[in-house]
Each structure stands twice: as C-alpha cells, then as structure tokens.
Amino acid sequence: MIKGFALGFAALVMMGLAPAQAQSKSAFSFVALGDTPYFIPEDYAKFDRLIDAINREKPAFSVHIGDIKAANAPCSEEIYAKVLSQFARFEGPLLYTPGDNEWTDCYREKAGGHDPLERLARLRQLFFANPTQSLGKMPLSVESQSKAMPEKFGAYVENQRFEKNGVLFATVHIVGSNNNLEARDAKTAMEFFERDAANIAWIRATFEKASASGAKAVVLAWQADLWDTRQREPFVPRASGFLNTIRAVERGAKAFGKPVLVICGDEHVFRVGPFPVTSLKAVPNLTTLQGMGEHDVHGA
C-alpha cells in the first residue's frame, strides 16, 4: 500500500502560493520512503511489493531517506548488494540518502563489528558510483555537492540536488544516533564535524539557489529525527548533533519566505506537522513530513 503524498502546484495551492488554474500544468507527485527493508531477510519480499506498487503509481521520482536494514543486522556486502539490486527495480528515478543503520551503527557486535568509516566509504562507492545521477531504471540528472563544492566538500557525493517544476529538492546526509556525534573515538568526532560543515554549506547553498532562481518551494530530505536528543529544557540542547542543522534550516526558510518541506524518518511513525526550531517554536512556512518504516513497509 502507498499512502499518497503529492507535491507541486497542487500542494503549493494548499499552502497559499500558486494560482489554482496552474495546478494541472505543473502538478506532480513523488514518493518518500525509508527505514525499509528493516528486518532481514523477511522484509525483502515486502519491499519488492512496495516497489511494485510505486512502479504502478508512476510518480515523477522516489526518495529513500535511509536505513536499509535494522541497526543490529549485519553491515555486510551481501545486504548492501541486495538492497542496491532492489533499488535498481524502481522504474522511475530514485534518490537515496544514507541512514545511521547502514554505517554509524556498524561498530555493534551484532552488526559485524565494522569500522563505521570504512562502511561509509563502501556505501558511497556502491550507491553513489555516479554522483551526477540518481538511482533507478530512468536516472535523474542531479547536482552533487562533490562537484558543486569540490575544494572543500569533494567527498560528499551523497548530497544531491535537482529542480522539478519550480521546486528545488536536496538530499542532505544527516543521520540518527545523534548525527554520529558520539564519543567512541577521535575519528568519529572528526567525521561528524566535517560532515556537519558540508551539510550546513549544502543547506545554505540550496536556499541561496532557490532564491536566486525564483523557486516556488524547497524540499529537503534526510534520515534523522532532529529532535530525538531533546532534553527537558524548552530548547534543543547544545549537545545535539542536529543543532546546526536546525539553525541552518530556520535561517534559510525565513530568508526564502516560501514553502519549505523537510522529509525525515527514524521514528517509523507517519506524521505531517510543524518543524520546531531551536526554541521548539514553529516557523509558518516550514513543514515536516516524517515517513513510516520498520514494521510499516509503506511509502508516503
């Protein structure tokens, strides 16, 4: 089953932006999914059925927001290859941004006791072999941060961006487990700070490009629930690995002034609602779509 979520002029009309008469010409739909296949190997058949359902719907493209296995499932070559082969079954373009389960959590004994940074390098090699194209049988041409900002951020092949009917979409590599800001070793901390800088630069550049091009809306997609480390204080704690992301989205959305949608996962519960900023207050033009996952193998 696919729970439909269409974006384009139809959605922009509901947000009070575009004239109703423009809907039929520029409206389009896409599918957001993630946190699946989760339970290996049982969920492979369920995921295949979901892909079949998406192919029947023929969306303009699909976005997988990461977690291609459960945290304790092996971070093995076999699992990576299996999911990559399933991604290849999408008839239309498929964008993918990694989750924590497929690399940051790979140090766990049940996941194989791997070096997470080695697994991240392997994910990039396998899933982003051509960073200027999406996955799927009919790949979409995309702009990759590795090509747009090669001097500082040439490694970040996974951060991608493209425009569809006046809406600017960008994937950003932001993951659960506090965005890998964990005190396991110095390499882990350094990875976080380097990727965080790349992500903030990508978010900022995306809003700048949207404003310069006259885009009607911006859509950002990543894996993490940014508020899963919230403490009891009425604000996002400085210890959060998501603090800079929240601030960057808040600044960008306020300056852009038009509809902004953030697609995320990690909590496995379908939800559409506000995007709380660091004060946990909402910004009027910011909306969050949290996808389902784990036991709920659906798309949104």
Q: What is residue 171's predicted lDDT score, i.e. its pLDDT? A: 98
The CATH class given to the 6-290 domain equals alpha beta
Q: What is residue 182's predicted lDDT score, i.e. its pLDDT? A: 80
Q: Which of 228, 266, 262, 275 is nearest to 99 (CA)?
A: 266
Residue 261's DSSP bridge partners are 219, 287
Domain boundaries, the chain: 6-290
Q: What is residue 189's predicted lDDT score, i.e. its pLDDT? A: 84
Supply 214's token pair. Answer: 């006259």
The whole-model pTM stands at 0.89
pLDDT averaged over 10-residue windows placed end to end, the chain, 300 residues: 36 38 71 92 94 95 96 96 97 97 94 96 98 97 98 97 97 94 83 97 98 97 82 56 94 97 89 86 91 63
Q: Which of 29, 28, 31 is nearest to 298 (CA)?
A: 31
Burial of 238 (0-12, 13-18, 19+ CB in 10 A): exposed
At 160, phi and psi to the nearest 5? -130, 165
